[in-house]
Amino acid sequence: MTNQEIAARISPSRNHVWLVAAPKSGSTWLGAMLEAVYGWPRVPMLDCYDRREQEIDIRMLTLHPDEDIFTPHQHTRASHPTLGIIQQFKIQPIVLVRDLYDTVISLRDHLYREHHIMPWAYFDETVYTLDPDEQIDALIDLVIPWYINFYVSWFYAEKQGLCRFLWMTYQDLKNDHEACVRRVLEFTGVDRSEAQIQGAIQGSWQSNTRRNVGMQGRGQSQLTDEHRARIQRLTKYYPKVDFGRLGL
């Protein structure tokens, strides 16, 4: 089916909220709260993971065509095809990012707590033979450029007026997750009672949100000056981009 044929099957009044996130940014936690507070069907916009780039699988949009839906976290850059789908299907994205220094440490934890298979760089079992500094070097060299790509794509999507979305950071989430839920509800124009909001927040703590240590500032204490300088150097190619949301 074409995009137009799929769009013809979907109610034009359907609400669709999509959590787009940088990996290891607290998106599973935020997603659990939002899924609970909305109470809508959960519709991922991809049908597989592995090493595949997490681009939209438009066929998934045919699920629950007459109901409001929530799409959980997906690590997707703001390409023109993606932005076109957002506009055509009236999707409301929430874009979640995190301090890049802390992200590197969380990614290293991810290698041991979950798996080396990821779409942002190709790692095999050899990564586990490296010492901790070499693993951090590999993550900075191979994965962090993807994060820069992700962030810059959404930065320019907003700056150029190509997409309306809500920025959110991991720091926002840690400092006041209740305020984050309220901001999302306000942005998406959905009313929920105080009991529904509190129930969603409390319920999220019972979910498997895949949190690692969840501590801010580990990048400053565990990365070397050279590590941080190498990450910072990646931003020099984008002098018009404000990287403050990434702690740079």
Please check whether residue 6 is in contact with residue 61, taking contact to mean a CB–CB distance below 8 angstroms: yes
* Average confidence (pLDDT) over 215-224: 80
Q: What percent of the chain has a predicted confidence (pLDDT) above 70? A: 96
**Phi-psi domain of 87 (left: phi exceeds 0; alpha: psi -120 through 50; beta: other):** alpha
Domain count, the chain: 1
Cα distances (angstroms) measured from residue 158 to each of 5, 13, 166, 193: 28, 24, 10, 31
* Residue whose structure tokens are 């979910």: 207
In one-letter notation, the amino acid at residue 76 is: T
* Average confidence (pLDDT) over 33-46: 96
Residue 14: inside a domain, yes or no?
Answer: yes
Per-residue pLDDT at 208:
53
Evaluate if residue 32 carries a pLDDT over 70. yes
CATH number of the domain residue 205 falls in: 3.40.50.300
Residue 24: inside a domain, yes or no?
Answer: yes
Tell me if residue 72 falls in helix, strand or coil. Answer: strand
**pTM summary value:** 0.92
pLDDT in tens, 148-172: 999 999 999 999 999 999 999 999 9
Report the alpha-carbon distance of residue 52 to residue 44 in Å, rounded: 15
Q: Give the number of other Cβ atoms within 10 Å of residue 72's Cβ.
A: 18
Residue 136: inside a domain, yes or no?
Answer: yes
* Average confidence (pLDDT) over 125-144: 95
More confident residue, 217 or 206: 217
Evaluate if residue 71 carries a pLDDT over 80. yes
The boundaries of the domain holding residue 26 are 3-242
Which strand (E) or helix (H) includes residue 167? strand 166-169
Evaluate if residue 212 carries a pLDDT over 70. no
Tell me if residue 97 falls in helix, strand or coil. Answer: strand
Band of pLDDT at residue 1, cut at 50, 70 and 90: confident
Residue 182: inside a domain, yes or no?
Answer: yes
Residue 227: inside a domain, yes or no?
Answer: yes
Cα distances (angstroms) measured from residue 47 to each of 14, 59, 153, 210, 229: 21, 9, 23, 20, 38
Residue 247: inside a domain, yes or no?
Answer: no
DSSP state of 42: B
Which strand (E) or helix (H) includes residue 69? strand 69-74
Per-residue pLDDT at 214:
57
Residue 31: inside a domain, yes or no?
Answer: yes
